[in-house]
Every structure is written in structure tokens, then in C-alpha cells.
A and B are shown apart, each in its own frame.
Chain A
Amino acid sequence: MHQLQSEVQASAQSAALGRAIVITSGKGGVGKTTTTANLGTALARRGAKVALVDADVGLRNLDIVMGLESRVKHHVLDVLEEKVAADEALVRDKHTATLYLLAAAQTREKEDVDTEKMRALVESLRERFDFVLIDCPAGIEKGFRNAVVGAREAIVVCTPEVSAVRDVDRVVGLLGNDFAPQLIINRVRPQLVKKGKMLSVDDVNAILRLPLLGVIADEPEVIVSTNKGEPLALRNDGPTAAAYHAIAARVAGEDVPAPTVEYKESFMTKLGALFGGKR
């Protein structure tokens, strides 16, 4: 009877554990960090308690993209090496109260991370947060393994380029069967797809064959927002914010209609309007 009770308790506890999701790709520069920041923001704005973890030791960027670099006092390695508790290292977001960041170290190396301790850290974060989003570095070396070790799910980010598709495919193969990876296709330029100068969503997913979480268009507003440290998901307007809010809804289990990207008027036409139509 006693054993049965503790079993019931254990399963009740694990039902309350948050979801640990690694955001990865293999290829660099596809938008992993931007996605982690925006998805985290969008989920937190829906009321969830979210912890963002930057696993890119030595090349940390998540704090910049969140606009929190000046508030970071301690980082992941400080916690793993038990110099501070996780609570002291977690930085609360400027804009959204239920969003926290655990920054990476800048002057250390990925080899310094003890993967078992990293796993334990993510597990302990799962006890307090609804979502733990882990920003994975590029590549498939130790940094990748550090990021993946605590996660239970994966979101892979890919751009419509052949090199990105190759790298993402490799990563999905390495992840194996345990992570139920879902796909975000980022930096799509619909006018180029239409002209046949860029891979389409179908081209990409013909190889990757993953459930599609979202498709995000390449917008100049993204660079502006990462430079300023204000994730676009803080806004309610604009195509990128909308895309991330839809992705957050899907991640939370809502049934949101299929992701599409609209073909908008071209850059040239826009400029024409700006300069009175003359070239």
C-alpha cells in the first residue's frame, strides 16, 4: 500500500513537470536564438512560466537578443559549478514577468560543461517552470550535446537553403527517436520562392519530413529587433510577431490553422511608392 502511494505521488509530480525543449539546427545563422527569444516571450505572454537557457558557452547571444546583457550577473557554469544557486543566476525579463533567462558564460568553453550536471539543472528548472527552452549552439559537437542532454523535445529551425536542409537532416538523425522534433522554416522570401529562386516549404519538408510548427518570412524588422534587444513577440502587430504567437499556441497544444506565408508586394514597388514612382 505504501509503495502504491509513493508511486502515485511520483507520477503526480512528473505530471507537473514543465516541458524542456531544445531549439537546434546544426547550421548556424538560421534563427535559433531569435526563435528561442520570441517563442519564450510569446509563451510567457500567454501566462506560462518560462525559463530560457543559453547553452552557447563562449559565444553567448541570447542575453543580447533579449536586451538583458547588462543585467546578467551569473551564468550557467556558475550554477553548474555550484558557485551560486539557479535562483540567483536567473534574470527576470524586462517586459514579461513570468519570463526568465539563464545566460551562458562568455569567457569559458563548452568543454567546461559537465553534461550530467546540465541534465540535473534542466530537470530542476522543469520543476518550477512550465517551459524550459534551451538555445542550442551551431554544430554537432560538445555544445550541441550539452544543449540536448536535458531536453525532452526538440524544435529544429531551418532556412530554405540546401546547406541548411543538409545540416538539419543530420541533426534530426542524431536526435534519434526520443525528441519528437518539430520544424520551423525561417527566413522565407515568398517572392523568391515564386520566382523559383528559393526552395519552397515543400522542397524543404520533402527531405526533412517533420511536423511543421511554423513558417516565418524574412523581414528586416527581425535584424532591427535583435540589435535593439526587443523580441518582436512583444508586439501584437507585424507578420513576425503573428507567426511566433501562432507557433506558441501550437506548442501549447492549440489547434491553429496551417502555417503559410503570404506573397507581399515587392521591395521595388514599395520604393517606387516612397519616391513618387520614379527610378
Chain B
Amino acid sequence: MAVLRGKGLGLEIALGGRDFEEALAELQSKLDERPGFYTGTSATAALGRSGLNHDQLERMRGVLHVHGIALQGLTGGPHLEPLAAEAGLRFAALDDGGEELARRRALRPRHQVQLSDAARSLLADFAGARADIAERRKRGEASVRRAVAGQALRVAALPAQELPATLYHVGTLRGGQALEHLGNIVVVGDVNPGAELTASGDIVVFGALRGVAHAGAQGDASARVHALQLAPTQLRIATFIAVEAGDPRRAPVHPETACVQNDRIVIFPREKAPQ
């Protein structure tokens, strides 16, 4: 389970059920990957049933402070309350298994938010996808087909599913910034050209998507990309890759959804997207 997660408007440091030194090292390296990216954010440390001593707390605070992150609270068992009070942190008791959840997740294979080998070799097939785009261009076809309004759509009953974890980011992503997540990604803000989103699930941009978005990055071709303004530099779903044909300055005026149909990426107006 990732040590650093988005939670609400801030960050959650997940320490429950983990070796502290290991988690701290992982936290450090995650933060070092994106210097300045989290500056100004606040964080809560979730301990589950694990303990934490004063020294460990201060070290963690130190690591966060260097990156401009303010530690604001602790959650976990009641034994943490005095520590939190002494350190001037908010405290919320979590009496069930924050640790139970952590233990269950620890049993799952540990990912460092990387693509699996299978997905990597699928990515390598993009070369073929590119060649395909080239062929289509030569034949005068657009690489991205926009669905014509008025197509008949089926509404199927959806089984209740456990949704994968969603990374929720509030703010605009600027060029050079990237978000990667096992699960869905929601961005409330714009995604500028030069920014990249990679999600194993869906991607939702509540703003203008102008960068690169890769949904279904582990190979799930049913993944979708939604945006208020879908104008990406490049769109990828699973192993499908698409580039917009046409005048790049024309901005779409209504929300749209991209999905894979008949082995290509197709864009629908939001309300007409198939279920």
C-alpha cells in the first residue's frame, strides 16, 4: 500500500501496520521525486493500531517540513492521544481496523505505483499503434472518431462494485507535473500541456484536460477519460493511443467522455456516452 495518499484536501501518511523506518524511507523517496510539488499541503498520519513515539514523530515531521508539508493530525488508537496533544496535533480515534485494512492490503502484492510487466510490454506495442495512426493519416482518416449525436445507446444494470481507491487532486496540474495512481484519478482544475496523468482506472478532469492522460494503464480497456474540456495533447486508454486530428486551437465547449470502441478511442459528448 502506498505510504502517501491523497485524502480530502490534504495528504494521508499511512503508517498503520508497517515498519516505521521502512515507511519513513519510502515517504522520503516519494517526496524527493517531486520537489516542491506538495508544498503548502497539510497531512495527517494514520497509525491504525500501531504505536508511535515522540522521536519518530519529530523525524517524520522533519521530513515533511523540508518539503513544505505541515503535519496537522494523527489518527489511530487511543494510546496516541497524549502524544498528539503534546505535539499540538489534532487527534481522531480510529478504533477498528485502520490496521485491519492495512493488514489486508499488505497481503496484496506491494506496488511502487509502477506499471506491471504485462502493462509494460503492452506499452511497448504503442510503436505499432503509432504506425497505425500514421497509416490512417495517410489514408486521410482522423485518428479519433467523434461520435455523432443521436446514436442509440443501451443502458445496462450495473452491479454494485467496490470502487478502487481514487486519487483526488484539487488544483491545476502544470507542465512537468505528473500524477500516477493505482485506481482512478480525479483532478478538480486544469491539466496543462506537459502534465501527465496515469491511472489504472478512470480519469476525471473537472476542468480543461490539455496534457497527456492514460487511463486503464494496466491494460483495462474499459477505462474512461472524462473532462469538462477534453483537449488533450494525447489520449491513451490501455494500449490504445490517440491524437486529435483537426485544428488544435478549437476548444470543445461541452463535457466529453473518451472510451474504447471497436479497437479505437472514441469521444462522446458526456450525456451520450455508453454505459
Contact = CB atoms under 8 A, between A and B. Distances in A.
A119 interface: no
Contact of B194 (A166, A175, A176, A177): A166
A176 B172 CA distance: 11
A169 B40 contact: no
B164 interface: no
Given A169-B193, A170-B194, A176 B176 contact: no
B252 interface: no
Contacts of A178: 39-40, 68
A167 B194 CA distance: 9
A175 B35 CA distance: 10
Given A172-B174, A174-B176, A166 B39 contact: no
Interface string B167-184: 000001111110000000
B36 interface: yes
Contacts of A174: 35-36, 176
B173 A173 contact: yes
B31 to A, nearest CB: 13
B208 to A, nearest CB: 8
Contact-residue size bin, chain A (C-beta under 8 Å from the other chain): 10 to 19
Contacts of B177: 173
A194 to B, nearest CB: 16
A207 B173 CA distance: 11
B11 to A, nearest CB: 14
Name the interface size band of chain B: 10 to 19
B190 interface: yes
A178 B41 CA distance: 11
A207 B210 contact: yes
B193 A176 contact: no
Contacts of A166: 175, 193-194
Interface string A202-227: 00000101000000000000000000
A169 B39 contact: no
Which of A167, A177, A178 has the most chain B CB within a 10 Å cutoff?
A177
Contacts of A175: 36
Nearest to A169: B175
Contacts of A169: 174-176, 192-194
Contacts of B37: 173, 176
A177 B171 CA distance: 10
B41 to A, nearest CB: 8
Contacts of B40: 176-178
A170 B39 contact: no
B190 A209 contact: yes
Interface string A178-214: 1000000000000000000000000000010100000
Contacts of A209: 172, 190
Interface in B20-35: 35
A217 B39 CA distance: 35
A175 B176 CA distance: 12
Nearest to A148: B36
A240 B114 CA distance: 51
Given A207-B192, A209-B190, A173 B174 contact: yes
23 contacts: A166-B193, A166-B194, A167-B175, A169-B175, A169-B194, A170-B174, A170-B175, A170-B176, A173-B37, A173-B175, A173-B177, A173-B195, A176-B37, A176-B39, A176-B40, A176-B68, A177-B40, A178-B39, A178-B40, A178-B68, A207-B193, A207-B210, A209-B190
Interface of B: 35-37, 39-40, 68, 172-177, 190, 192-195, 210
Given A174-B36, A176-B40, 14 more contacts: A166-B193, A169-B192, A169-B193, A170-B176, A173-B37, A173-B173, A173-B174, A173-B175, A173-B176, A173-B192, A175-B36, A176-B36, A178-B40, A209-B190
